[in-house]
Structure 1
Amino acid sequence: LPDNLTSWRATVRAITKNTEVGQGTNIIIARKNLLVRTETPRFFREGDTLLIATNIHNYLNEKKKVKVAFKSKNVKLISSSLGKKDEILVKENDEARVDWEIVVEKSRGEAEIYIEALTNEESDAMQVSVPILPYGVKQIVALNAIVQENTSEENIAFTIPKDVDLHSAEISFSLSPTLAGTMLKSVDDLVAYPYGCVEQTMSRFLPAIIVANTFKELKIPLKEKTTKELPDVIKKGLKRLYSFQHGDGGWGWWQNDQTHPYMTAYVVYGLSLAKLAGYEINEEVFQRGKENLLQQLKTVKKEEQTTIAFMFYSLVTADIKDFKDAKSLLDEISKKESNSYTLALLASVYQKLGNKENEKKIFEQLMNNINENEKFAYWGGKQWHYRWEDDKIQCTAFALKYLLSTDAKFPVIPKIVSWLLRQQKGYSWNSTQQTASVLFALTDYLKITKELEPDYTVAVLLNDEKIAEKQFNTKNIFEENEKLSFGVDKLKRLSNGENKISIIKSGKGTLYFSGYNRYFAKPENVAKQNSFTVEKEFYKLAQFKGESGIIYKKEKIARPLKSGDDVFVKLTVKANEEGLQYFMLEDQFPSGFEIVKDEEHYNIDGEDQYQGNFIRRGKIKPWRWNYASKEIRDEKIAFFVTYPQKEMEFTYIIKAQIPGTYSWLPAEASLMYYPEVNGLSGNYELGIGN
């Protein structure tokens, strides 16, 4: 039997040629007379000290001396309740407990814990692996470079602060002789993104469809894994989008928020491209989405010019050219002074409508706005507004896509591509939204490039020590180039302070270097941003009997908690800027605690949002939360708000479980698409007594 102590059921059914049928079922139980159980948290945090309890069950008919052993990797045993002994007496049909006090020394990887119990008759052992998370706030420094045809060397300087534990640092990069290889790594990053709102669901699989179809058209082989997994990624993505459609036919940022004109337009645009690429889509969902988008054109705010332009762009991509009553709105915004993003979209709309006169006027305005020098060209936005409508990367990507559809020989096009590639943050761009927009444009550019004849050797050095070397030529140009990742154990010269990566190319061809340096800075040393002010309060919940049941009262935590205690967490966020969009708040749990998922049953004194059951005294209470969505992971909780208010409050409850002393990282507020707009709370320590 498999190594699983449980009940097993075997069912046999039989039928003869004369249609005589029969059935039999037998149930067996897999059990052990001596077994070991141990409980660990879902994760360990670097520097934490905790107690691992092991229970030894003796179902034999006599008491047994049990020899107990504890072995571990990446955690250190401090003490044991056995003291210097290695044996414990367990009575027949009874159990005994052994406690192991450990400290988490490493800052990454996995801890392995092995416990065995031996007797003269039977024995048992178990091994568990627990992920180790660093104590620190993740910092990512982009390491990107393009070594051009006529260049032999590029250098990238980066700094690791003095207080950072180098064991938490990692350098990761990929080398590619073509733009195609760089694009594939970006697609991989999109698919691996941790959250799944409407935009990210679409931005995960849609670029994969476009890139895969372009590669097929150009006869560029895709790696086997991509070919195998892509249909499943697309199927799951479409299913999720269908389930997120609102009752009115539109989409919001998440499933339960208000319908949003941009999100609806983005989904309709994506479904159109998926259909054009040959994938089967749900026509009823698609039709309802298009009808809703046309309807929203009647109510959208006229000052939202970029949103309106994208709505029309989405409709013409879906082959809708009769805008009915909204036709006057298109002509109206095209006559107004607009930002470059709006102009790029309008030029594409008029191109698809065949209105050459208006297209020419818009095109001239667009080209007048370009920023160009000897190496680069791009369109600027009001980036400090931190809204997608003012995003210069997305703006430049859509402008490039338009130019490529007009005349692929525009001399400025290579400069635009170079600028976009320079904006990479590791393997992708600043957000899923930016990455998807750039990939849509680069797939069009890929069709006209001539990067198929490289012949060179490249060496990568860290602080003058060679860490990688690769040769590229026509024979291996399409071979899969894996991401190379190095920790301090393989990087002898990686140091706190200044570091330098040198990329040395010998031969003809262009090299694309994409990567990042990731490390975890101590929370107390991370510069506090002033975009958001974040405060974290937490209280022990004490139970009292009230008239209608149990009432919880908040108490300051003055001593270590006990296993089973509830902790009420309140996060208050103040936005120090106006007009922000797509807000996200993440709070890492302390190890040794579990999130309480049925918090709606809690009646907490002084907390209006916690007044017992959702249905109370025969009345259904209204939706009480101010967020669009909430996601719970093993190690953290995340809240999402489409339009953040000046001041917001978020709460949750965790339950103390495993004795120990645990660090609690700061809660981080940020904009999902502009993570540099952020703010941190303080960091704390919580203890659970034995």
Structure 2
Amino acid sequence: MGQFVPNIVVLNILKELGMRNEKLEREVPKMVRECLIRIYDEQNYDGGWGWFKGDITHRFMTAYVVYGLALAQQMGFDVDQKCIQRGIEALWRLIRSENTPSLKAYMLFALTEAKAAWGKLAGSEIEMRKIAQTIVKASSKSALPPMAHAVLTIALSRLDEKTLAQQSLNALEKQARFVDRYCFWEGTWCRLGESDVEATAYALKALLSLKPNDPKVTGAVLWLMLKRTGNFWYSTKSTAVALLALTDYITRFREFQANYSLKVFVNGDIVHEQHITTEHIPQGEIVLTVPASVGENKVTIQKMGIGRVYYTVLLRGFVTKGMNRAEGNLLTVQRRYLVKDKRGKWIPLGSEVRIGTDVAVQLTITAKQNLEYVMVEDPLPSGWEVVQYVIGVPAKVEGLPSDWWTKTEIHDDRMALFMTYMPKGTHHFSYLLRPEIEGTQTALPPVAQIMYRPQLRGRGVGVKLTVHQ
């Protein structure tokens, strides 16, 4: 789903804005079809989906997949009817047994999206209304998190429950936070796993459905644009919903009308000057790379004419110190490199190794409490390859501990591990590396983090290794 929903969103943007981009129109549908095949393959026997293939059915992920497939269907893609029918049936079983109002609200939101895509196949609208009413009743006793209020508002609006939708929106508006001209909603990091970006994006969609001219709409748009990092928001999940919300905004207010002169100054010097018209918008954003000076740096953007300018400033820096110091809060990670001695026993590797030697990597991850959605990334030294006796599967290391992980991925520059549920305590993973290039290489520190809460993380220690003949 990490690639699927953003791809659907891109096509939706092109369609809604009436823009043409031959490369995207050619490549994105192919990627969507590939994602659909993978989604079908990862569906569990009970019709639901887990976070990874073979993982137990997860309530939020099942709702998220049904939602994504509904978007695809509405975009003109032929979704396998057996797959979606099994998925919808699974979602109904899950929502009927779910007791958490916030998660139940998102599941209802997904069902109403399925209703927009497939009509009666999505199930009973009468039962959807009853579920919506129970969630509203529960929210009157204990306030829902902002994202739950937002998706509930959208679902109620789709079900034509106007009074209840307005009631839910009123509660959502009271949860808004303001900083200067910016408006946002806080993510609660509950079972929905949402960030501030997702909570704000869904809140923006809810406002646009019922109160599109509310000043908080503009404040939320400005906040979302401010929080963009380069060309994405926080994660693929956050990026997808942010783009969906901003597409709703742009199509409603036709903000792609432009005719203005733009100047950008850095520390008083002009670095870019251009006249922008509507024809420039399909060409994409303007990216300026400017070296920063030591000390304070001032960026000034001037616009004269009709249209709105959105901008993001990204500061990149390179840290040359701190590789030798481990740190962490809820997670800690340690890494050891080992080689076999003459007796076949694994012993710590020094700073030098011969080309072609099998080097064992032992990762030790400690969780200070029970955690969900843990990701570990171990950067590979340049010129070192993961040993694979089966393509895509890291070779097992005899004699070293290695626990079960939900998923492992071998990349060109790193080994990635995922564990859906990590119990409190110590966990291990071992794999083999083989140096293939002579020279001195750096192994950057390994990092363990919560996938959707990267501030909760642990970092190990980096090391320099010399490879010789």
What TM-score, normalized to structure 2?
0.87
Report SS of the residue matched to 1:318: helix
Match of 1:371 in 2: 177
Q: CA deviation at 1:682?
A: 0.6
1:584 matched to 2:362: no
Q: Is the 8 A contact 2:362 2:430 kept in 1?
A: yes
Number of residues paired by the alignment?
454
Paired residue type of 1:365: A
* Match of residue 266, structure 1, among 39, 46, 64: 64
Match of 2:361 in 1: 569
Q: Which whole-Å deviations, capped at 9, do the CAs of 1:503-544 have from their partners, x for residues lacking one?
A: 222334321223523333225268944342111122113475
1:246 matched to 2:76: no
Q: CA deviation at 1:306?
A: 2.3
Match of 1:422 in 2: 226
1:597 matched to 2:397: no
Match of 2:416 in 1: 638
Report SS of the residue matched to 1:361: helix
Q: CA deviation at 1:254?
A: 1.3
Q: Which whole-Å deviations, capped at 9, do the CAs of 1:89-115 have from their partners, x for residues lacking one?
A: xxxxxxxxxxxxxxxxxxxxxxxxxxx
Match of 1:211 in 2: 13
Q: CA deviation at 1:440?
A: 1.4
Match of 2:119 in 1: none
Report SS of the residue matched to 1:377: strand
Q: Is the 8 A contact 1:463 1:494 kept in 2?
A: no
Residues 516 and 399 of structure 1, relative CA distance in 2, 3 Å threshold? same
Q: Is the 8 A contact 1:592 1:660 kept in 2?
A: no
Q: Is the 8 A contact 1:523 1:666 kept in 2?
A: no
Match of 2:460 in 1: 681
Q: Is the 8 A contact 1:262 1:311 kept in 2?
A: yes
1:668 matched to 2:459: no
Match of 2:431 in 1: 652
Gapped regions of structure 2 (runs ≥ 5): 116-121
Q: Is the 8 A contact 1:306 1:389 kept in 2?
A: no
Q: CA deviation at 1:453?
A: 4.5
Match of 2:118 in 1: none
- The Cα RMSD (Å) is 2.8
Match of 1:291 in 2: 89
Report SS of the residue matched to 1:583: strand
Q: Which whole-Å deviations, capped at 9, do the CAs of 1:218-249 have from their partners, x for residues lacking one?
A: xxx22222222222122222122222222222
Q: For 1:468-507, list aligned pairs within 5 A.
A: 468-474=272-278, 476-481=279-284, 483-484=286-287, 486=289, 494-507=292-305
Q: Which whole-Å deviations, capped at 9, do the CAs of 1:178-236 have from their partners, x for residues lacking one?
A: xxxxxxxxxxxxxxxxxxxxx303233121132122123xxxx2222222222212222
Residues 600 and 313 of structure 1, relative CA distance in 2, 3 Å threshold? closer
Q: Which whole-Å deviations, capped at 9, do the CAs of 1:238-291 have from their partners, x for residues lacking one?
A: 122222222222111111222111111111111111111222111111111111
Q: What is the alpha-carbon distance in structure 1 between the residues aligned to residue 123 and residue 160 of structure 2?
A: 10
Report SS of the residue matched to 2:456: strand
Residues 308 and 213 of structure 1, relative CA distance in 2, 3 Å threshold? same
Q: What is the alpha-carbon distance in structure 2 between the residues aligned to residue 560 and residue 423 of structure 1?
A: 44
Paired residue type of 1:671: I
Q: What is the alpha-carbon distance in structure 1 between the residues aligned to residue 147 and residue 228 of structure 2?
A: 19
Paired residue type of 2:248: D
Q: Is the 8 A contact 1:541 1:565 kept in 2?
A: no
Q: Which has the larger radius of gyration?
A: 1
Q: For 1:184-333, list aligned pairs within 5 A.
A: 199-216=1-18, 221-300=19-98, 302-303=99-100, 305-319=101-115, 320-322=122-124, 330-333=132-135
Q: CA deviation at 1:602?
A: 5.2
Gapped regions of structure 1 (runs ≥ 5): 1-198, 545-551, 610-624
Q: What is the alpha-carbon distance in structure 1 between the residues aligned to residue 253 and residue 440 of structure 2?
A: 58
Q: What is the alpha-carbon distance in structure 1 between the residues aligned to residue 445 and residue 354 of structure 2?
A: 23
* Match of residue 534, structure 1, among 333, 339, 347: 333
Paired residue type of 1:244: E
Q: What is the alpha-carbon distance in structure 2 between the residues aligned to residue 444 and residue 353 of structure 1?
A: 19
Q: What is the alpha-carbon distance in structure 2 between the residues aligned to residue 447 and residue 562 of structure 1?
A: 60
Q: What is the alpha-carbon distance in structure 2 between the residues aligned to residue 343 and residue 273 of structure 1?
A: 21
Report SS of the residue matched to 1:581: strand
Q: What is the alpha-carbon distance in structure 1 between the residues aligned to residue 348 and residue 280 of structure 2?
A: 63
Report SS of the residue matched to 1:412: helix
Match of 1:400 in 2: 204
Paired residue type of 2:27: E
Match of 1:348 in 2: 154
Residues 453 and 314 of structure 1, relative CA distance in 2, 3 Å threshold? closer
Q: Which of the pair is proportionally richer in helix?
A: 2
Q: CA deviation at 1:586?
A: 0.8
Paired residue type of 1:478: I
Residues 388 and 520 of structure 1, relative CA distance in 2, 3 Å threshold? farther
Paired residue type of 2:2: Q
1:435 matched to 2:435: no
Q: What is the alpha-carbon distance in structure 1 between the residues aligned to residue 386 and residue 309 of structure 2?
A: 47
Q: Is the 8 A contact 2:394 2:432 kept in 1?
A: no
Q: CA deviation at 1:480?
A: 0.9
Paired residue type of 1:254: F
Larger RCO (alpha carbons 8 Å, 6+ apart): 1
- Percent same amino acid among aligned pairs? 30
Deviates more, 1:274-283 or 1:653-662: 653-662
Paired residue type of 1:507: G
Q: What is the alpha-carbon distance in structure 1 between the residues aligned to residue 361 and residue 231 of structure 2?
A: 36
Report SS of the residue matched to 1:572: strand
Q: CA deviation at 1:314?
A: 0.6
What TM-score, normalized to structure 1?
0.61
Q: CA deviation at 1:575?
A: 2.9
Report SS of the residue matched to 2:310: strand
